[in-house]
Amino acid sequence: MSISLDGNDDNLNLSVREDFEVNVSTFQMDNLPSSSTGTLLVGKVNSAKTGSVSSSSYFRLGLGNVSSNIPNDATFDSLTLVIKPNRARYFYGDTTANQKISIHQVTENILLKDITTGMDKHLTPVFVTGPTLFAKQSFNYNSTPLGEITFAPRVGSMDTLSIRLDQNLGSTLFNMFKTSDVTLASNQNFQEFFKGMVIVPAATNTALVGFSDTLAVKVNYSYVGADGFRAKAARTFTIDSRAYQYNNMTFDRTGTPYETLTYTSKELKSEDTNNEVFVQGGTGVVANIKIPSLREFMADETISINKAQLTIETPTLNTGPYPAPPSAMLMLADINGIPVNALNIPFTTTIQHAQYVKGNSTGTNGKYVFDMIEVLKNINSANYNDASLFLTVSSPNLFSTTNTMEIAKENNKPKVKLNIVYTKF
């Protein structure tokens, strides 16, 4: 098509270009925080293509409903941990099989880690702003469980799980309450005695389930009331600080094309994985996208961009036990593979989230579509030197879910396409 300025003999040509070379690789991000998400993510899934992912949830306890005195004639009944599904009722994996989890006593102080200061602060991702707990961290715990439960993860209808814990520990805590032991005088005192708990999935589990962090550890007891009847009551511990509740994510990619993808060997070229690339929340796996000819194209002063879209197609459905992420985002990563910024909605300071667009029954893939005007506007700035784009699960799901999606292939290459509509002067 051609257009012209009024009264000017020079034609202006409206053109579309979609033949940009796009290089895509699978990349393992590091230092992914997983605290303060509101979700205790517990379980394990296994995929023949991408390997297994397991999540255990650590937390510290503080003094909740423990202020009133216990009657002198009260007797200890039981110690229980009560948890319920999180508000989103999140799950990932096969929930038709029973799942088993065990509760263990943490034997090491759960400490926040600060990577925003010191010599390596330039390696800090944009989503880390202070001391936190990271998905790859773990702390020592007693291998003998305080309690365990096998349950059917009917996430849509499951109300609560009540897990009976060690009677000896419960009796000790009960006696501390009755005697007003100094151990229960403050959270700090109590955490010196009891450093925390961790919920660990069984190796045979087939699903990850999200539980709410509004849990309760109850010291249950009974006593004879003023009316002469036996009554029941409890003293309750809760999570003292969400900053100290986090999910420890581990992965095992043995036997898959991504076996060598680790925190130390962070990138796999698509040609080394049969041009297969995947993106995964929780573990921090992203698609690393580079468009080498884009800077040269945008250096042409005779063009003006009208529209630019990056489309990523996926055969992964957004329904079923292994759904694709409901939305995705792009982050700008520097030469060291450190995310330094998120791609915003053009001309705003709001992060751009591309919603999953469904395919159809005739074989059309699902897709995510991004407006790339902001990238093109800044592509020749110093910030974009040797930079690349990371396709990730949208925040905050990046830190609290394990949704995974593959990138579709076309002509045996990852189906990632940049389309630009521009005017040629």
* pLDDT tens-digit series, residues 135-156: 999 999 999 999 999 999 887 7
What's the CA gap between 257 and 277, in Å, rounded? Answer: 10
Instruction: Give yes or no for a contact between 389 and 277, defined as CB atoms under 8 angstroms apart.
Output: no
pLDDT (mean) for 42-63: 97
| Mean local confidence (pLDDT), 237-256 | 97
pLDDT at 354: 98
pLDDT band at 123 (very low <50, low <70, confident <90, very high): confident
Which one of 1.25.40, 2.40.170, 2.60.120, 2.30.230 gives the CATH number of domain 2-29+266-424?
2.60.120
Identity of the residue numbered 222: S
3-state SS record for 153-213: CCCCCCCCEEEECCHHHHHHHHHHHHHCCHHHCCHHHHHHHCCCEEEEECCCCCEEEEEEC
Q: Which single residue is written with the structure tokens 């521009």?
A: 422
pLDDT band, residue 118 (cuts 50/70/90): confident
| pLDDT at residue number 158 | 81
Q: Yes or no: say if 407 and 278 are a contact pair by the CB < 8 Å rule.
A: yes
Average predicted confidence (pLDDT) for the chain: 93
At residue 3, does pLDDT exceed 70? no
Give the span between the Cα atoms of 21 and 42, in whole angstroms: 41
Percentage above 90 pLDDT, the chain: 81
pLDDT 10s digits, 275-295:
999 999 999 999 999 999 999
Q: What is the pLDDT of residue 6?
A: 54
- Return the pLDDT at 221: 96
pLDDT at 234 over 50: yes
Residue found under tokens 């784009």 = 389
Domain boundaries, the chain: 2-29+266-424, 39-249
Q: Check if the beta carbon of residue 279 is closer than 8 Å to that of residue 389.
A: no
Q: Which pLDDT value is given to residue 65? A: 64
Q: What is the rounded average pLDDT of the residues 110-136?
A: 92
The average pLDDT across 157-173 equals 94
pLDDT for residue 1: 47
Which of 355, 322, 246 has the alpha carbon at shortest distance from 91?
322
Task: Give the model's confidence band at 386: pLDDT under 50 very low, under 70 low, under 90 confident, else very high.
Answer: confident
Instruction: Answer yes or no: is pLDDT of 414 > 80.
Output: yes
Q: Tens of pLDDT along 23-34?
A: 999 999 999 999
Number of Cβ atoms within 10 Å of the Cβ of 56: 23
Residue 132 has pLDDT above 70, yes or no: yes
Q: Kindly report the CA angle at 319 between 399 and 255, in degrees rounded to 5?
A: 65
Whether residue 90 contacts residue 180, with contact meaning beta carbons closer than 8 Å, is answered with no
CB 224 within 8 A of CB 72: no
Asked which of 59-73, 178-192, 396-410 is least confident by mean pLDDT, the reply is 59-73
Model confidence pLDDT, tens digit, residues 341-379: 999 999 999 999 999 999 886 779 999 999 999 999 999
**Is the pLDDT at 68 greater than 80, yes or no?**
no
pTM (2 d.p.): 0.93
